[in-house]
Structure 1
Amino acid sequence: MSTSLTTPAQAVGRTLDRPGKKRASVRSIAAITLGNGLEFFDFTVYTFFATLIGRLYFPVDSAFGQLMLSLATFGVGFAARPLGGIVIGAYADRAGRKPALMLTLWLMALGSAIFVVTPSYAQIGLAAPVLIVVGRLLQGFAIGGELGASTSLLLEYADDNSRGYYGSWQLFSQSLSILLGSVCGLALTNFLSTEALESWGWRIPFVLGMLVVPAGLYIRRHLHETADTSNASEGLGSVAEVFGPYRRQLVAGVLLVIGGTAANYIILNYLTNYAATVLGMPLKLAMWAGLTGAVVSMLMAPLAGILSDRIGRKPSILWPRLALLAIIYPAFVLLNAHPTLPTLLTVTAGLALIQVLHTVPTVVILPELFPRRVRATGMSLVYCIGVLLFGGFAQFIATGLIRLTDNPNAPALYVIGCGLLSLIGWAMVRETAGRPIE
């Protein structure tokens, strides 16, 4: 009687082929999505209170200077992402997706705790902004490793014909985080006085964000491991492999990310601050922009994933991206000509609809470019480098461009430039939908 060795990946595959596969998949998607959503909630909720945090923590005379420093601190979190992608991505490929996700969740909770307990500049001086920057660096490091591990896990639960759908839940979770942040922002700005909001109210979302800890405990207990750790590179060997044999995929992936991330942070995050600072809307009305964009993205993300499984990743990326480049400048012109809440919500919804259609297949194709043994590392590096360069500082750059050019539509020009650059990456990648990636 012959015997054969079974790798961990084969064992997982057999487990998911049993009759309980569908139920296990639903639970897995829900657990990963919730964990992702809470992590990104912790990271992105900062932007909804950037104006307020600028006043509390940065000792600059002008409101513009405070906002710019606050947005720069938001961007600092992205500077730590590539390091997190290297360290935690390599750990996910070597030790498994689950241990890496647990590590990122605990680090994110620690970063949020710093925001909860740090006094203002008026109370402790320069230590206050220093602690805020440390908190952002911790959060950025965690997110840098989380994205590669969680997206790889989602795709490895899928078959060749459903990876787009499974991967779409990564974008669903990010939109969920923006929705939660918008709801918190709307509730706090409408039901608390200005004094209460500045004193303690703005810290509430960061307290809620610490719920990543129980989500992490669930992931540790209930999710199946998908990494084939028996074939993983030792130490940071997976990083060397990504920069070696897979450097073309790395470059193409970074270029692809540029177009998606620049538009994503302008449309889903920046429009709230834009409406408050450029259009002059009250913050409690401007918050509706983030909520509207998040709802549209959440509803459309799974459909965008299914569409990319049907017609392919490359067409799903190209045509919506070209449509966004054509429409975003006229959308900003319309918004400035009619700076009302209905116009803001209409523009946000329309741009978010086009945005999610090409962002979902972009996020899905990135891990498909790499084999399982280096997938989390490759995905982390591609995404984190692209987001660091053109996403994390998108709001800072857009605000600076408005002041530099005296053109309130300048954020649209930034999105157009990044989108055109990303088409080079699109031309470099092959079609992956419906094809084996191992």
Structure 2
Amino acid sequence: MQLDNNRRLNRQDYKTLSLAALGGALEFYDFIIFVFFAAVIGDLFFPSTMPDWLRQVQTFGIFAAGYLARPLGGIVMAHFGDLVGRKRMFSLSILLMALPTLAIGLLPTYSSIGIAAPLLLLLMRLLQGAAIGGEVPGAWVFVAEHVPRKRIGFACGTLTAGLTAGILLGSLVATLINTLLPASSILHGGWRIPFFLGGIFGLIALYLRRWLQETPIFLEMKAHKALSQSLPLKSVLADHKKEVVVSMLMTWLLSAGIVVVILMTPTYLQKQLGIPAALTLQANSMATIALLFGCIVAGWTVDRIGSSKTFIIGSLFMGVCSGSFYYLVAQDNSLLKPMYTLVGFSIGVVGAVPYVMVRAFPSALRFTGISFSYNVSYAIFGGLTPIFVTLIMHLTPMAPAYYVLALAGIGLGLGIYLNRDLNSESAVDARLADSISGG
């Protein structure tokens, strides 16, 4: 099977990309909607006699359990994705997310079944974590193996934007429910609504994904009996250590950039600078929307100038924008919305991250290589970043700025490295030629 790598995206490509992005957005919504209702969930799923701070710690502990389950779920699904097909695991991941989300909306509370309530909640979060661990790498691999080679960056950037849209959707739904319903109504059942919505929409997305086709590259490998003959993870760790390290650093850039700028900064602005919550949330929504466009632009750019130049230019831009944002807004709050929007757009350089990852591993090991690198790195840096930044904030209020500047330095270093090693055009073209011919 010879693929026309110079053609434009066709109708089938756009259909594949749209369904993948939609499913990814809904999965991210399902995964993070929990955090928007953590206070209510803590009140309902733990004893009323328990100190409030301890309820919240245990509630966020259950939320964090989803991150800990990501590596195991991702590696298991990637293993079968490399051996039996991308599409099957791509569908399984959304089913594994939709059902636990729906179940959370149906769970009885502590007052009804006692200690079984938080234990069941924990089980559902573990299943959600396993699902998201397979969804993100699976989605990147799926779209990258469908589209022409010279459109991989745009496809991955657009898909990453779709995943980020799930965070925005969760924020909007939470805001809407808290606006329309009084606190008493939310406590007596209103909190279940976003979980019902997530589960139902997830099942709809699963139904729509049945129209997707297996990737041409996997079908070609299967026809040529070129699938991995050994345990995929064993081969990845034995033969692709360099690619794993680069992919883990890339994931650090992606996860920590979004965690600090999009998830942590609203609280920082309120606590450190005294900016009203309503204003910070409005600005945060603008920054998240700008991030979506930034991901797409980064993907479009990497197709045209390569990953090295994209990360060098993009990281410098991110460093300048983030440093300016945290410094200037501290001096003049009127700059909040335009500067937050600009820094949100600059973080969009992370939209080029999956481009490097899908092109780093041979096709027979691609799903496993990406899944292992991404999920292990995300579990470490996604979980430790908030703690680290909070600790540094006790020393300087500019801690978020310094952390993002450090990330920009990592991105710059990766860009320079890619220019002379991992992403040399001849090496990449050889890998892609292997993929098309059966790997």
| TM > 0.5 | yes
Question: Whole-Å Cα distance in 2 between the matches of residues 336 and 73 of structure 1?
Answer: 34
8 A Cα contact 2:168 2:285, kept in partner: yes
Query: Is it true that 1:219 corresponds to 2:213 in the alignment?
Result: no
Question: Whole-Å Cα distance in 1 between the matches of residues 380 and 409 of structure 2?
Answer: 15
C-alpha offsets along residues 110-157 of structure 1, whole Å, 9 cap, x if unaligned? 221232123444554443333333222211111111122211111112
Shift of 1:424: 5.2
In structure 2, relative to structure 1, the CA distance for the partners of 1:337 and 1:45 (3 Å cut) is farther
Query: Is it true that 1:46 corresponds to 2:37 in the alignment?
Result: no
Shift of 1:214: 2.0
Give the TM-score taking structure 1 as reference length. Answer: 0.84
Letter in structure 2 aligned against 1:216: L
Shift of 1:332: 3.1
Secondary structure (helix, strand or coil) at the match of 1:157 reads coil
Question: Whole-Å Cα distance in 2 between the matches of residues 177 and 162 of structure 1?
Answer: 23
1:381 to 372, 387, 404: 372
Letter in structure 1 aligned against 2:12: A
Shift of 1:374: 0.8
1:231 to 226, 231, 255: 226
Mind listing any 5+ residue stretches in structure 1 that lack a counterpart?
Answer: 1-9
In structure 2, relative to structure 1, the CA distance for the partners of 1:165 and 1:237 (3 Å cut) is same
Question: Whole-Å Cα distance in 1 between the matches of residues 52 and 328 of structure 2?
Answer: 29
Question: Whole-Å Cα distance in 2 between the matches of residues 376 and 420 of structure 1?
Answer: 28
Secondary structure (helix, strand or coil) at the match of 2:145 reads helix
1:61 to 19, 42, 51: 51
8 A Cα contact 2:286 2:337, kept in partner: yes
Query: Is it true that 1:346 corresponds to 2:338 in the alignment?
Result: yes
The range that moved more, 413-422 or 206-215, is 413-422
Match runs of 1:257-268 below 5 Å: 257-268=251-262
Shift of 1:348: 2.9
Shift of 1:406: 6.0
Query: Is it true that 1:194 corresponds to 2:183 in the alignment?
Result: yes
2:152 to 149, 152, 163: 163
Shift of 1:297: 2.1
Secondary structure (helix, strand or coil) at the match of 1:162 reads helix
Match runs of 1:18-417 below 5 Å: 22-57=10-45, 61=51, 63=53, 67-121=56-110, 124-210=113-199, 211-226=201-216, 227=218, 228-229=221-222, 230-234=225-229, 237-275=231-269, 286-336=280-330, 343-356=335-348, 358-402=349-393, 405=394, 407-417=396-406
The range that moved more, 420-429 or 77-86, is 420-429
Question: Whole-Å Cα distance in 1 between the matches of residues 44 and 425 of structure 2?
Answer: 48
Letter in structure 2 aligned against 1:332: Y
8 A Cα contact 1:45 1:181, kept in partner: yes
Q: Please give the root-mean-square deviation of Cα atoms over the aligned residues, in Å.
A: 3.1
8 A Cα contact 1:58 1:121, kept in partner: yes
Letter in structure 1 aligned against 2:29: F
The range that moved more, 100-109 or 318-327, is 318-327
C-alpha offsets along residues 181-219 of structure 1, whole Å, 9 cap, x if unaligned? 122122112211122223323332222211112212221
Shift of 1:159: 2.1
Mind listing any 5+ residue stretches in structure 2 that lack a counterpart?
Answer: 435-439
Secondary structure (helix, strand or coil) at the match of 1:300 reads helix
8 A Cα contact 2:69 2:127, kept in partner: yes
In structure 2, relative to structure 1, the CA distance for the partners of 1:302 and 1:335 (3 Å cut) is same
In structure 2, relative to structure 1, the CA distance for the partners of 1:106 and 1:280 (3 Å cut) is farther
Question: Whole-Å Cα distance in 1 between the matches of residues 187 and 154 of structure 2?
Answer: 41
Question: Whole-Å Cα distance in 2 between the matches of residues 90 and 296 of structure 1?
Answer: 35
Shift of 1:30: 1.0
Report how many aligned residue pairs link the two structures: 419
Question: Whole-Å Cα distance in 2 between the matches of residues 278 and 124 of structure 1?
Answer: 41
Give the TM-score taking structure 2 as reference length. Answer: 0.84
Question: Whole-Å Cα distance in 2 between the matches of residues 70 and 400 of structure 1?
Answer: 21
Question: Whole-Å Cα distance in 1 between the matches of residues 187 and 337 of structure 2?
Answer: 27
The range that moved more, 144-153 or 391-400, is 391-400
8 A Cα contact 1:279 1:336, kept in partner: yes
2:437 is aligned to none
8 A Cα contact 1:308 1:433, kept in partner: no
In structure 2, relative to structure 1, the CA distance for the partners of 1:372 and 1:359 (3 Å cut) is same
Secondary structure (helix, strand or coil) at the match of 2:148 reads coil
Letter in structure 1 aligned against 2:322: I
8 A Cα contact 1:368 1:432, kept in partner: no
In structure 2, relative to structure 1, the CA distance for the partners of 1:422 and 1:222 (3 Å cut) is closer
Shift of 1:97: 1.0
Question: Whole-Å Cα distance in 1 between the matches of residues 105 and 276 of structure 2?
Answer: 25
Question: Whole-Å Cα distance in 1 between the matches of residues 386 and 103 of structure 2?
Answer: 23
Question: Whole-Å Cα distance in 1 between the matches of residues 320 and 72 of structure 2?
Answer: 35
In structure 2, relative to structure 1, the CA distance for the partners of 1:121 and 1:416 (3 Å cut) is farther
Shift of 1:329: 4.6
Secondary structure (helix, strand or coil) at the match of 1:221 reads coil
Question: Whole-Å Cα distance in 1 between the matches of residues 265 and 254 of structure 2?
Answer: 16
8 A Cα contact 1:101 1:216, kept in partner: no
Shift of 1:84: 1.6
Shift of 1:44: 2.2
